[in-house]
Amino acid sequence: MDNFYQVDIYTSSEAIDGITGALQDYGITGFIIKDGADFEDFLADKNANWDYVDDSLMALKNAEPCITVYVHENAQGRETLEAVRALVEGYKAKNADGFYGNIRMELANVKEEDWANNWKKYYKPFRVGKSLVIKPSWENVSAKDGDKILEIDPASTFGTGQHHTTKMVMETLESVISDGERVLDLGCGSGILSIAALLLGAKDATICDIFENAVKTASENIEKNGFSAERYRAFCGDITTNAALRGEIGGGFNVICANIVADVIIGMSGYFADFLASGGKLIVSGIIDERLDEVLAALEENGWKSVSALNEEGWNCVLLSR
């Protein structure tokens, strides 16, 4: 029998639609929504006559608005949960006006220490593509000739390599990295894609994320894999709103990676070319089937053409050029 995590996201009535829309971009399509405002509308329906309303329903009237989802208790589920956690932290960061209410994410009946320790039983060494071997620090592997060992542990940022979106980008990187490429990793998360690129032969990597914790974790992971500070640069911020940041990052990149979600890729579609070297490639991933055409249309409007694509379990990764 499958086991599931119950994830409760508490927020405001006004924010529910936007949050559920964002969750759908992560492949979460089933929700249980508890919202006192909806119950008030239910009671105020002038076309219905209610002689009696059960006390359990009345209790919903004053309940804090909550979105509940269930995620498989496995490696894929853990990756999804880390992405959702990052999403909620992003809403917290821009909640100065209180639009999102007392937004927070809670795992029902799961202690934080169990959340961290239980991960180990799901996270084992695995291969990606022809040469990459991904492993946590507590596991040993016997490397074959040509193997490139990438060590990364689960943390509070997205990207341990087990999610389809991350695997597909690494497979695509293996096909486009040969020797000396400069790589830009937008939405770097754990830094796993930059580490993979460096192991495959990239000259250097530049990482960028809107979350300071992600940039810090990614930098630490890059160095844990044997790459000095001379091999990478790190930035924190939003390239779509910060022209100064775009200027600091600069151009001349042979490969750009954006393993994020559809809406963010669409928002970035007009900026990717600013960072690109002549003949460079763009890899976008994290796109569910239902949003693929929309994302490709936005990229094509900005001069990009699809070169190849991968699809796994409803997720898409596309390699593009200009």
Quick check: 126 and 136 in contact, CB under 8 A?
A: no
Which residues, 6 or more positions from 212, have their beta carbon under 8 angstroms from its beta carbon? Answer: 236
In a domain, 140, yes or no: no
Give dist(CA 197, CA 195) in Å, integer. Answer: 5
Which segments of 44-74 does DSSP mark as H helices, in order?
A: 55-58
CATH number of the domain that 198 lies in? 3.40.50.150
**What pLDDT is attached to residue 158?**
58
- Going by pLDDT thresholds of 50, 70 and 90, the confidence category of residue 53 is very low
With respect to residue 142, please indicate whether it lies within any of the assigned structural domains: no
103 and 28 co-located in one domain? yes
Q: What is the DSSP string of 173-199?
A: HHHH--SS-EEEEES-TTSHHHHHHHH
Q: Do 164 and 93 share a domain, yes or no?
A: no
Output the domain CATH number for residue 42: 3.30.70
Q: pLDDT confidence of 46, banded at 50, 70, 90?
A: very low
pLDDT of residue 71: 82
Residue 236 lies in a domain: yes
Point out the least confidently predicted range of 67-81, 218-232, 302-316.
67-81
Q: Considering only CA atoms, which of 188, 162, 8 is closest in space to residue 79?
A: 162
- Asked if pLDDT for residue 95 goes beyond 50, the answer is yes
Number of CB atoms found within 10 A of residue 228's CB: 8
Q: What is the pLDDT of residue 24?
A: 83
The parent domain of residue 31 ranges over: 4-119
C-alpha 53/C-alpha 47 separation (Å) is: 16
Q: Rounded to two decimals, what is the model's pTM?
A: 0.72
Domain end (from 95, 119, 143): 119
Statement: residue 160 has pLDDT above 50: yes
Domain assignment present for 242:
yes
Burial 168-206, CB ≥16 within 10 A → b, else e: bbbbbbbebbeeebbbbbbbbbbbbbbbbbbbbebebbb
The answer to whether residues 100 and 206 belong to one domain is no
pLDDT tens digit sequence for 181-209:
999 999 998 899 999 999 999 999 999 99
Residue that finishes a domain, picked among 119, 139, 164: 119
Are 295 and 205 in a shared domain? yes
Q: Average pLDDT in the 50-57 region? A: 50
Residue 156 has pLDDT above 50, yes or no: no
Q: How many independent structural domains does the chain possess?
A: 2
